[in-house]
Amino acid sequence: MATMDYVEIPSYATRLRSAKPTDDLRPAPKIVTSLPRPEHSPVRSTTGMPAAPMSPSKGGSNLTSMLLSSALQLPVNAPAAPRDYGSGKGARLLSTRDPLSIPITTTNFRRFVSKSTPIFWLQDRVEEIVLWKKSWKYTLVWMAAYAFLCYFPRLILLIPHAVIIGVLLATHPSMRNPGASESPSPKPQQPPPPSQPNEGSVDWLANLQAIQNLMGAVSDGHDLIVQVVPYLSYSSPYTGLILTFALVTFFGMIPLVNLLPMRATFLVLGLAPFAWTHPFTQHTLLPALQAAFGAHANHWRACVLRIIDDDNLEDKHWGSELREVELFENERWVPGTSGGNVGEEPTKAKPEGTWSKAALKSGERKAWTRGRDGWSGVNEDGSHEVSSNLTFSLAHGWSFVETEDWRPDLEGTWAEPLGADEAGWVYTNDIWHDSRPLPLEEWRSSGGMTRRRRWTRRIYYSPNVPV
C-alpha cells in the first residue's frame, strides 16, 4: 500500500473546527491597532533640537492648493446646513452666511495667513514674559505692574488709553528718526515696512507654521474637555455626586467670600503662574519633588487613569474577561549644544541634546517593539520594525476595548526596583542595561544613553466576535 509523504493544502481551503476547542487548528485572526500617540516627555533638559526651517523657494503659491487638495472632491458651491443653537428663528449666524465654496475658502485662508502676524507676535511676547524667556527684568516689570493694578483696581479703566498713548508715542516720527528735528536738512522718512508678508516669504511661512501649531493646540484642548463632558451631562453615574459636592461647596464658600481679602487674593493668584514657570521651579524644585515623591505620585496618577478607563467601559466589557497587551517605545539620546539657563551669558553654553527615535543604531531595537527584551515577538513575519500600525494575533473571541486607547505605564513596575519617571520612561546605558528612573550625568556626557517606555492596552473576550 502506497504511503503519502505530504498533502498539499490549497490556499483557498479552510480548516474545519474540531469538536474540542483546544484542538482548533485555525490561525488566530489579525487585529490592526494604531500606534500610541506619545506626548513630549516633561523630563528633558531642552525643548529638543530645532526643526529644519521651511524654504521659501518651495512654491509658496502652491502651498495653499496642496493643503486644500483633500477637499477638492467637494462641490464648488455646497449649501451648508443651518445650525440651530436655540438663538431664535430668523437669526443670521456665521454658519449660515456663505455656502461652502473652495474658492472662498482658498481666498480667506490666504488672507488669514497674511493678516495673522499681529496675533502670533502678541502670543510670542506673552510667552517671553510669562515663561521668563527674554530676561528676568522684563518679567519683574510686568509682575510689578500687575501688583500695582491689584491694589488700585480702578486704574484698569485707564488701560485702553495707556495702550493708545503707548502706540502713538512708539510710532512718533522722532522715535523712528531721532535727531531729525535738529538737522537743518532732514532726510525724507523711510516708508514703514509692509504689515502683511508676501505669500511664500519667510514671515508668511512662519505664520503658516503658527496656524498649524494653533490648530493642534485647539484640538488637544478639545480632546481634554470632551473627557469631562460625560460627567456634566448625566451620562455617568458620578454626575449626581458631582452636583451634590458643587452645591455643598457653593453654599459653604458664601461666608468665606466676605472674609477673603480680594486684592491680596488676586495678587497671589495672578503671580502664581510666574512662580510656577520660573527656571528655578522648573529645573530645581520640581525635579527634587519628583525624586522625593515620584513613586507615590505615579502610583496615584495611574490609579486615576484606571478609574477613568473603568468608568468608560460598557456592559459587554464588564461581563467578560479583561487582559492587557503591551508595547515598548525606544529612544536614544542625541548630544548637541544649546545655551544655558535663562539669564546666563550666551558664551556659557553647555552640552545638551534631545531624544530621538531616528538616532537608534543600526542592528539594535527599533522605535516600537512588542517584546519586553526589545527583540522577540516584534512582528509575525520576523521583522523588528513597526511603522504606522501594529498587527496583533489575538486568539478567537478577543478584541481591543473600544472605549480606551494605549496608556503609558507610569509606575514602571516592569523595571523594578527603581521604577520610572513621571512620564513612564526608564533610562538605561548605551547597551540598554542598568535601568534607572532618571538618567546619569556620565551617560549624558558620553552620549551613550537610551530610554524605553511601556504602553499597555486592554483586550476583552467575546465569543460572539466573528473570525
pLDDT of amino acid 267: 93
Task: For 298-326, write each residue's pLDDT tens digit.
Answer: 788 888 888 888 888 888 888 888 988 88
**pLDDT tens digits for range 237-251:** 888 899 999 999 999
pTM of the model: 0.58
pLDDT, position 37: 73
Q: What is the mean pLDDT of the segment spanning 11-40? A: 63
Joined together, the cell numbers standing for residue 161 give 488709553
Look at residue 161 and tell me whether its pLDDT is greater than 70.
yes
- Select from 450, 323, 449 the least CA-distant residue to 398: 323
pLDDT tens readout for residues 104-139: 888 888 889 988 888 998 999 999 999 999 888 999
The pLDDT of residue 96: 67
Please give the single-letter amino acid code of residue 454: R
Q: List, for residues 46-91, the tens digit of each pLDDT value.
A: 333 334 334 444 444 455 555 555 444 445 455 555 555 555 555 5
pLDDT, average across residues 216-224: 89
Burial 122-157 (b: 16+ CB within 10 A, else e): eeeeeeebebbeeeeeebeeebeeeeebbeeeeeee
Contact 401, 460 (CB under 8 A): yes
pLDDT at 196 over 90: no
Higher confidence at residue 46 or residue 396? 396
Most confident of 65-74, 220-229, 332-341: 220-229
Average pLDDT value over all residues in the chain: 75
In this predicted structure, what is the pLDDT of residue 233? 85
**Nearest-angstrom CA–CA distance, 190 and 200:** 25
CA distances from residue 157 to 102, 126, 234, 450 in whole angstroms, order as listed: 44, 21, 42, 55
